[in-house]
Every structure is written in C-alpha cells, then in structure tokens.
A and B are shown apart, each in its own frame.
Chain A
Amino acid sequence: MLQVAARLWNSDLGWSLRQSPVAIVAAIVAFVCIGAAAFAPWLAPHDPFDLASLDLLDALSPPAWLAEGKASYPLGTDDQGRDVLSGILYGARISLLVGIASVLLSMVIGVTVGLVSGYVGGAVDAIVMRVADVQLSFPAILIALLVDGIARVALSGEMHSTLALWVLVLSIGLSGWVQYARTVRGSTLVERRKEYVQAAQLIGRGAGGIMFRHLLPNVTGPVLVIGTIHLATAIITEATLSFLGVGMPVTTPSLGTLIRIGNDFLFSGDWWMSLFPGAALVLLALSVNLLGDWLRDALNPRLR
C-alpha cells in the first residue's frame, strides 16, 4: 500500500500534484469529505436515519456555540430534531454514492456506445451520434427530471421511496453518457487505424475482443478526466433534484434534501439548517471539480 502511494507520489502525476498547491488543498479537502462520508456511522454523533432516536423536543436547536445550543448537537438540529452534523455526514454519503454510481453508469454506457460507434462506423455511428446530438441539446437536469418522472409514474409511492436512490442514479446516469461516448468515439476513430488493431484483425480476433481488449486501454485517459469532473456535476445534479423535491426523501436525506428542508426556515432566521449542508456541498463539489481540472491538465501532454 505504502509502496503504491510512494510510486504514485514519485510518478509524473505526483510531480504535477506537488507543483500545484490548489490541487493539493483540493485533494486534502476531497479526501476528508469522502473519508468523513465513508466513516459516517462511526463519526456521526447520532444516526439521523433512526427515527426512534429523534426527539421532537430538541427540534430547532441552534449550533452548540450559540446561547440556546446544546452540546450534543454541534451544528444544531432541524425541525424534526435531527442532528445537522450527522445529517451532513450521512447526507454526503448518499450524495457521493449517487454521484459515483451514476458516473460509473454514464461511463459504462458512454464508453460502450463510443467504442461501438467509432469501431463499427457507418449507419450505426451515424444513428448513435445523432441520438447523442439530440440528447446534448437538452440540459442534463431536464433529462434527469424526465427519467425521474417516468419512474414515479411506473413505481408506486412506497416503492419509489425505497428505490429513490437507484432512480436517482439511473436518471443522472442516463443524462451524462454523451460526453463519454463522443470522447471515446473520437479516440477510437484515431486508434482503430493503428497497426496493433490491424494486427488483431489479421489474426482473426472478433470485434468485441478488439474493442474491449485492445482499444479500450488506449482510450481510457480522457475518460478518467471526464469522470472526475462529471462526479462534481453529478453531485450537484443530485443536490438540485433533491432540492426540487424529486430526489432523496426526507427520511433518508442527501445534502440537497437537507438544504431543501433548511430553505423553508431561511426567512425565520434558523440559518444553520441550510447553511452547513450548503457549505458541505460546496466544499465537496468544488474540491472534486478542482481535482478534475488538475487531472485534465496533468494528463495533457501539451501542457506539460
């Protein structure tokens, strides 16, 4: 483990990271956010999903350092007596889970479509890319809303609450595959004329084998970069959907849901309910985004 870390640190990528203070800070913040989210059950003072642990009489407590704050709720509580800090830790976990899962889904769809489209070419390529063009003309959030709307009609209310997370993954995942597909297709068009592909064709490898064993490893670089930046976008999209009330339910809130709950109390001065989840969302999305930017530059040989 340590050796791997040391090798990374001494690699070109490591060198590039050391040169960029912004990237270092972003990496640390992202690492802390992801770590805190991953270990939420051990770090959080309360379990916000355990309804039995909520006490309505503790509702609307301000942060601990204010006059009426309670020490057991460091960042205050919401209108149901849910601890805001625990809510953020668990909420970030859901936001990250949705983000990562939907990025992976987009990636799988996008890379497959891009490889096939670029390698097979012809009518398949034309149709797939026109579909991609059409999808690109809609904002991603609109497609996510559309998919979510269909899922809502198809599933009953009870089922929708339990499957909310996967509906979100599906709707965000389906709205983001085009970038991957276009990038991979572009690289594939270049790569497929190269000798190693022709050699593979000559020895009689099937199209699938060539695409996934030979082409795929050579087109993954840009995919990683898009993936990192897309992760930040996906987290924001998830928060937007939850803020609009079509994402995670209140019983298992994500960061966006927490902000939505807090939003109702902004006028009444109970600012902590929306400010802290909002700040957490900004930190998480910004750090991931900055990391993505740095990765893009670091992997771009022309900028080295």
Chain B
Amino acid sequence: MKPAIRRGALIVAACVLAASVGAHAATFRFADQGDVMSMDPYMLNESLLLGFMGNVYEGLTGFGKGLETAPALATDWKQTAPTVWRFNLRKGVKFHDGSPFTADDVIFSYERARGDGSDVKLYLAPIREIRKIDATTIDIITTDPYPILPQAISNWYILSKSWCEKNNTLRPVDVRKGTENYASNHANGTGPFALKSREPGVKTVLVPNPDWWGKAEHNVTEAVFTPIANDATRVAALISGEIDMMNPVPLQDVPRVQAAANLKVIQGPEMRTIFLGMDQKRDELLYSNIKGRNPFKDRRVRQAFYQAIDIEAIRSRIMRNASTPSGLMVAPTIRGFAPELNKRLPHDAEAAKKLLAEAGYPAGFEVGMNCPNDRYVNDAEICQAVASMLAKVGVKVNLVAEPKALFFPKVIKRDASFYLFGWTPASLDSHNALFALMATPGEGGQGQSNLGAYSNPKLDALTRQIASEVDQTRRNAMIAEAFKLHQDDIGHIPLHQQMLTWGLRKTVDVVQLANSFNYLRWVTVK
C-alpha cells in the first residue's frame, strides 16, 4: 500500500470510527400528552410521574424487563419472621449530589412518604416500623404478615435525608393544596439519570449519572421530555423528527405513523383499568339538581348508569379497537385476576330507564362529571360518549373535561360526584386495587383512591385477610370473593383496559413495560 493511500484509508477509518462513536451517543427526545406534574415522587401516585421519576430515583426494589421484581437499592432481602423482612442495602451508592446512600435515608424516606401530603402512603400502609440494624442493613416490620412486600414497595423511591433537610423539603407537596417546594422542581436520586433542568409544562431534561451503580444499557447522553397536549401537534412533531418518541399515538393516527418509512408503533395491552366512579358517601351530591339525597347511594341508579353505557361502541369508535372491555377493576395480567368474573352487565338503555324510574328518577336527573383530557387514551372523548349515552336514558351530564393539573387535585380532594379514573396496581397484584380503590377510605392509606368512598365492610375484612394470606389458592379465592362483592354492589363502573400505543423513530429501541413505565436505562438511539 502506498503511503498516500494508507493515509487515506486511515482517514476513512477514522471517519467511520468517529461516525460510529457519534451514533452511540445520542439525545433522546420524548413527549407525552401531559406533563410530569412534579419532580417529587410522593406528590402524585400516577404512572407517568412514577415511571419518569423512576429514572432519577430508585426504590429498594425495582422492575426487570419482564416487570419481575428486581433488586435496586436493596441487593437482597429475606423474611426472618412472618412480619419481619431483612433488607441488605447496596453499598457504595451515592446520590447525585455526592452524598452516600445509607439506612438513614430509607428511614427518612419512610417517614416522608407516609406523612402529611404524601400520595404514595398506600404503599407503606402495611409497614409498622423500619428499624436500622447498621448503615447498610434494615428490618422492615409489618403489622400483619405481608408476603408481597417486596413487590408492593417498588414505587416507593428513596430520597436523600441530608438533601431534603438542607433544602427544607421534609414534607411532600400535597396535591390537594397545590403549593410547590424545592423538591417539586429539583431532584436528587440515586438512579441512572439525574435532573439537569426543569421548566414545568415546557421541558424537563435528564442526563446520565456517571456514578450509577448499575451497568448502563443505554446510549443516551441527554433525554429531553416535553408535554405536547394536542394530538395533531404531537404526531407532526414525531413525523418531522422533532421528537424521537411519543405516548400515546392518537388512535386515529396509528396507521399513518405505521406507514411512515422511518417510524414504528409499539402497541401492547396496558395493565391500567379505566373506570367510572360515583360519590356514594355524601347525603347530597355536590353537583346535581337532586337535593336532599344522593342518587348514587341507590344501587339501581349505579346499575342504570352501568347499563346505559355501550362499551362496544366506545371500543369500536372511540378506541378504534385498541381497548379490551372489562367487567373487573383489574386487567388480566394482574395477579389474582378472576377470569370467571370478567363479565359486564349488558348494555340495555331500556333496562337503565326502568331502573332509574324504580329508584324514583323517572325523568332522570342532572349530575356533574369530571374528566381529565390529557391523561388516558381519549379520556375526554370517552367522557363525551358516556355523557351522550346517559342522555339517552334521561341523565343530563354536565361534563367538565380539563387538564390533569386541574383534574387530579379536584377528584383527589373528593370534590366530584361522577368521574373517570384509571388505575394500575403498582404491585401488579389485585390486593393493591382492593386496598386503594375499593376499601373504605380510612387512616393509613386504605381507600386512598376510592374517591367516591364506596364501602362494604365485608370487602374491607377480606382485603385485610388477603394481605397476609400466604396460600395462593386461598388468596385467589378471597380476591375473587371480594371482586364479586364489589361487582354485585356496582362500587365502580369498570370500562376497559387501553392499549399502550407508543410511536417511535425506527432507529430507537425501548422496552415497553405493561405498567406504562419507560425506563431510559433501556433506551438505545441508533
């Protein structure tokens, strides 16, 4: 080889090398229809927030690629007595600010997450105490035996004690009161990504944490998250290459995105169940023309609402077949799902009218309905359809569909009569749904998201037993029994499980977890 040619070959090789290095370092830009409402992982128990902050913060346990429980800040754990769990903490882990992670941070986070204003209280409800054994060993003591503890706490993230004390953010922001503190817009976790900058409602930028304890499987150098509420704008942004990924692809645009040469759609059933809730506690509804009594206390009214809904029309028209109608409050992939109970009451407008008449409302009544318009797939459209279906049986729905920043505080305050909501059991276990959505609201997190305060003491007792039952067969039987009670009472009106529909550039690879979490540590951009 002549020197000149050799030199040329070298230059070419260098260029190829440079290009490939360039390709292995990339900015990942992703969008959702709504914003991550806070950087504080205790502010709102919402999949988007928890999934996003799961890049920055970590729990003692976490998820693997198949949603199996995986070690995170705890390397291993074992049950030393029926109510005692020994967790060995990972050694040598540092928070993003450089301070070391120790047992004190776990205990501090426990106090913070179960205290005033926390929306993740429910995960810690079975825990009586956390005891420090030494700097890297703790014992978690539960009130009753709680065999699913490691699964149940994977969304409870650990914050740094010294950082929270220094920045005076000892308590989380209460979503019902809506004030901000330092942790709302700053973050200091142990996770694979650190928060670089945050503009609420505009843009949140994460950068890799070079000191992360795990092995990085991603090649992201910067991750930029933007909320884009408008469906058409979001699609345009993906098509034009302004973003690399978005959730959800508007269902009407799935074929369009699939057809684009450089784009792909990943679709899979999500573990979230969308349902309608009704205020069954107040003696008089807040938003209704019926005074002096609460129609929703009457089971016949709840059944009338249920039967007025044509779920097949919602599936085929609003959801474009990207949903699975559900008769239960949990998805088939949730542990304890009872397939024999997964039957819906038939859609029957005449029966609904008759039921309303029997209950004393032959001419129907008026009720206000609250609905988010940037949280679930076609949420506002579902609510509009429900409103017109109820209009056919004489119920006039005054629909308020608004962004989740307004919606969540309102319904979590229980300032609603009739609302649309969605729930993914964080532990991927039916007990979570029973405990959070169906149990009578009380101190300690039970019924925390039972926003209509449905109550059945028998279900409460079963929920308590299920928590500590070890035998799978007996446990499943009790779960089914509890579901049956809730179904017979029509405590809520389940609608469907939606499909997770992510649109991506073909050069991007992600792992789509069925709980909708998108971990950046598994994102590669070519």
Question: Footprint of B on A, CB under 8 Å?
Answer: 50-52, 54, 56-57, 59-60, 79-81, 157-158, 161, 250-251, 263-270
Contact = CB atoms under 8 A, between A and B. Distances in A.
Given A157-B402, A250-B384, A264-B250, A56 B314 contact: yes
17 contacts: A50-B391, A51-B391, A56-B314, A56-B385, A56-B388, A57-B317, A79-B317, A79-B381, A158-B368, A251-B384, A263-B232, A265-B252, A267-B236, A267-B250, A268-B255, A268-B256, A270-B252
Nearest to A261: B381
Interface string B306-326: 000010011011100000000
B235 to A, nearest CB: 5
A80 B401 CA distance: 15
B384 A80 contact: yes
A55 to B, nearest CB: 8
A265 B235 CA distance: 11
Nearest to A262: B232
Which secondary structure dominates chain A's binding surface? Answer: loop
Nearest to B399: A251
Given A250-B384, A263-B232, A157 B406 contact: yes
B398 interface: yes
A52 B370 CA distance: 19
A263 B233 CA distance: 9
Contacts, number: 76
B252 A264 contact: yes
A165 to B, nearest CB: 15
A157 B400 CA distance: 6
Interface in B234-262: 235-236, 239, 250, 252-253, 255-256
Contacts of B197: none
Interface of B: 230-232, 235-236, 239, 250, 252-253, 255-256, 287, 310, 313-314, 316-318, 368, 370, 380-381, 384-385, 387-389, 391-392, 397-402, 406, 410
Contacts of A57: 313, 316-317
A265 B380 CA distance: 15
Contacts of B239: 267
Contacts of A270: 252
A56 to B, nearest CB: 4
A270 B230 CA distance: 17
B256 A267 contact: yes
Contacts of A266: 232
Nearest to B378: A79
B398 A268 contact: no
Given A157-B400, A158-B400, A264-B230, A52 B388 contact: yes
Contacts of B318: 56, 59, 79
B164 to A, nearest CB: 32
Contacts of A54: 388, 391
A158 to B, nearest CB: 6
B317 A60 contact: yes
